[in-house]
């Protein structure tokens, strides 16, 4: 039996990108033979990960974890290549574990999350392990954490689309149903922002540029271009910002009016919308 040194482990790790514990086990099993150790690692999934790195992972599921007081939530998207795998029990278990770990460990970002240890393996290593078993590329594509007075998740049928909505002005009320209604609105209408104040400046500039080009093409007087463009921008806000959109369950009122009717002052602080594919 060869004596496996830390230098040997680090060398194999640099060669393969595999985890330290996996490298040590592989070298021990291979009696110090690097080629055999690499073969062992590949059989465990590393080769599959590398060979499928250029594949499109456009299927998968979103997973959420919400605190008991409904003031904090995480949403992660775990992607794979086929819907068949997305429905696989082991895939679903892994996705739920990643969301649970993200929530409990307060991981700062996706990179930190993947390095979180669950037992002897990191989440990245657990993903690689399942890759080796099922033969498809797996990838955490989204990791969102949200805090607020009330954070409500909405998962669309099939778990291919997920929304987190943070509400403010809750006034001690249970606003779960209202949050889900707004989440459904976001899922269906895909607004660009909460309101006109939160629209990215680059989006505004692009919309004005498009509007001005249309107005000039229509032959409108040059001195009216800016004024008409601003009118078109207001129409864009009405159609594409959440609070100004007609509420999907009752188009006679806007989303802002619906929320204010639930409890005076209730409003959306922020939202995130994640889709698979």
pTM: 0.78
According to CATH, the superfamily of the domain at 6-44 is: Ubiquitin-associated (UBA) domain (1.10.8.10)
Residue 199 CA: distances (Å) to CA of 65, 184, 228, 246, 261: 28, 20, 20, 18, 25
Which pLDDT value is given to residue 2? 67
pLDDT of residue 149: 97
In degrees, rounded to 5, the angle at the alpha carbon of residue 15 between the alpha carbons of residues 14 and 20 is 50
Domain ranges of the chain: 6-44, 53-147
pLDDT in tens, 27-61: 999 999 988 888 787 776 655 455 556 667 889 99
Q: Which CATH architecture best describes the domain 53-147?
A: 2-Layer Sandwich (3.30)
4 and 27 Cβ atoms separated by less than 8 Å? yes
pLDDT tens, residue by residue, 108-163: 999 999 999 999 999 999 998 898 888 888 999 999 999 999 999 999 988 999 99
Mean pLDDT, rounded, of the chain: 91
- What is d(CA 125, CA 130) in angstroms, rounded to the nearest whole number? 9
Nearest to 114 by CA among 145, 82, 140, 83: 140
């Amino acid at each position: 039996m060869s004596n496996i040194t830390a230098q040997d482990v680090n060398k194999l790790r640099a060669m393969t990108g595999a985890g330290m514990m996996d490298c040590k086990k592989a070298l021990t099993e291979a009696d110090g033979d690097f080629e055999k150790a690499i073969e062992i690692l590949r059989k465990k999934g590393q080769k599959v990960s590398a060979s499928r790195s250029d594949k499109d992972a456009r299927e998968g599921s979103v997973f959420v974890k919400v605190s008991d007081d409904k003031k904090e939530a995480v949403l992660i998207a775990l992607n794979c290549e086929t819907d068949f795998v997305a429905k696989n029990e082991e895939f679903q278990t892994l996705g739920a574990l990643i969301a649970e770990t993200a929530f409990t460990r307060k991981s700062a970002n996706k990179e930190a999350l993947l390095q979180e240890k669950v037992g002897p393996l990191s989440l990245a290593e657990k993903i690689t392990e399942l890759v080796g078993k099922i033969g498809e590329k797996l990838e955490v594509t989204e990791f969102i954490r949200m805090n607020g007075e009330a954070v409500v998740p909405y998962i669309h049928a099939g778990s291919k689309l997920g929304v987190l909505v943070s509400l403010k002005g809750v006034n001690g009320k249970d606003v779960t149903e209202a949050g889900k209604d707004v989440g459904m609105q976001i899922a269906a209408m895909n607004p660009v922002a909460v309101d006109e104040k939160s629209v990215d400046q680059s989006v505004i500039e692009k919309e004005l540029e498009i509007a001005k080009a249309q107005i000039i093409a229509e032959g409108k007087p040059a001195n009216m271009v800016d004024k008409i463009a601003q009118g078109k921008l207001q129409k864009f806000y009405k159609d594409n910002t959440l609070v100004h959109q007609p509420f999907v369950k009752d188009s006679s009122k806007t989303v802002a009016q619906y929320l204010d009717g639930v409890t005076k002052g209730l409003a959306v602080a922020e939202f995130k919308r994640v889709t698979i594919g």
